[in-house]
Amino acid sequence: YGCITSIHVWIKDSNGRTVFSAWRNNTEMYFEGEWTTGERKLLYRGGALYYMPSDFEREILWTSNGKLRGIEDVVRALNKGAGFVFMSGHGSPNVWADHFPGIPGNRINGEVVGLNVVNFKRPYFPVDSLNNGEKLPVIVIGGCHTSMFNVSLIPTLYDMLPFIFKWLPKAYMWTFGIPVPECLNWRLVRNPHGGGIAAIGNTGLGYGMPGRNANVGGGDSWITIEFFRLYGGEGLHILGQAYQQAIVSYINTFNMEDFEAGHIKTVQEWTLLGDPSLMIGGYP
């Protein structure tokens, strides 16, 4: 949870002499996804695990703790089975991903892919390879487009063509030419050998607040945390009730007339794929 760092930048010439040197001390850098999923408060609002019952076994896969290094780590953890899975990062209909702390080498070079529908190396279909049987979690994914349910194979393949032929209209499938048969969240739910019993995520671009306001400023982080707060803190154990009340709480908390802040889109695009009458964990 460290968020204060000091940066030293220097430049040496061909003779090894330092020609430039500068420090930036006590610089704040918040890893928003880890605060959103985590066990501590940021300002006055905790991450999701802060509100979960203390008797829940917790397995935390973060890039900062070295346990999230790629797809294999996520598949291995999911195959053990779980009650809940919460991932907060970046997404598309095909992929959910995170970054190494500080995003070294910019976003492309600092990216860590956690799970996807179609992959160009083994496993070629990571979601389909899940085999956690009946140990099916409720999955909440923070990030863009992971519940964009109107994708299919041909439109996503076509999506590459307008980048080559500029005169063609864009399909806006957000897979960048990768052929994807179904979105990530639905693929997780429909997996006959495992995956999840339900999945919640965004059908469009997810919004978030950077820095110390990550957990309190609204957007994707706030509404996903609220779902877990309602389950763990308020005792809402019917899936649809917790999902519905998270949306209601968001509307009652933020100014829904502020179009630029993305509040309206946050509640409109947050979609549950699964049976809303589900009693989470089953009936006693």
Location of structure tokens 């195959």: 79
Q: List, in sequence order, every beta strand (DSSP E) within the chain.
A: 4-12, 18-28, 41-42, 45-46, 84-88, 90-91, 95-99, 111-116, 138-142, 198-202, 270-273
Give this prediction's pTM.
0.91
Examine residue 21 and state whether it is found in any structural domain, yes or no: no
Examine residue 100 and state whether it is found in any structural domain, yes or no: yes
The pLDDT profile of the chain, 284 residues, written as one tens digit per residue, is 667 888 899 999 999 999 999 999 988 878 899 999 999 999 999 999 999 999 999 999 999 999 999 999 999 999 999 999 999 999 999 999 999 887 878 878 889 999 999 999 989 999 999 999 999 999 999 999 999 999 999 999 998 899 889 999 988 999 988 999 999 999 999 999 999 999 999 999 999 888 889 999 999 999 999 999 999 999 999 999 999 999 999 999 999 998 888 999 999 999 999 999 999 998 87
Examine residue 127 and state whether it is found in any structural domain, yes or no: yes
Q: Give CA–CA dist 37/47, Å, rounded.
A: 5
Examine residue 206 and state whether it is found in any structural domain, yes or no: yes
Q: Give CA–CA dist 79/81, Å, rounded.
A: 5
Q: Give me the residues paired with residue 200 across strands.
A: 140, 272
Total domain count for the chain? 1
Q: Is 159 exposed, middle or buried (0-12, 13-18, 19+ CB in 10 A)?
A: buried
Examine residue 155 and state whether it is found in any structural domain, yes or no: no
Examine residue 171 and state whether it is found in any structural domain, yes or no: no
Examine residue 129 and state whether it is found in any structural domain, yes or no: yes
Grouping H, G, I as helix, E, B as strand and the rest as coil, residue 4 is strand
Examine residue 114 and state whether it is found in any structural domain, yes or no: yes
Structural domain range at position 245: 31-148+183-273
CATH number of the domain at 192, please.
3.40.50
CA distances from 213 to 21, 45, 49, 53 (A): 31, 9, 18, 25
Which residues contact residue 167 at a Cβ distance below 8 angstroms, ignoring those fewer than 6 apart?
none
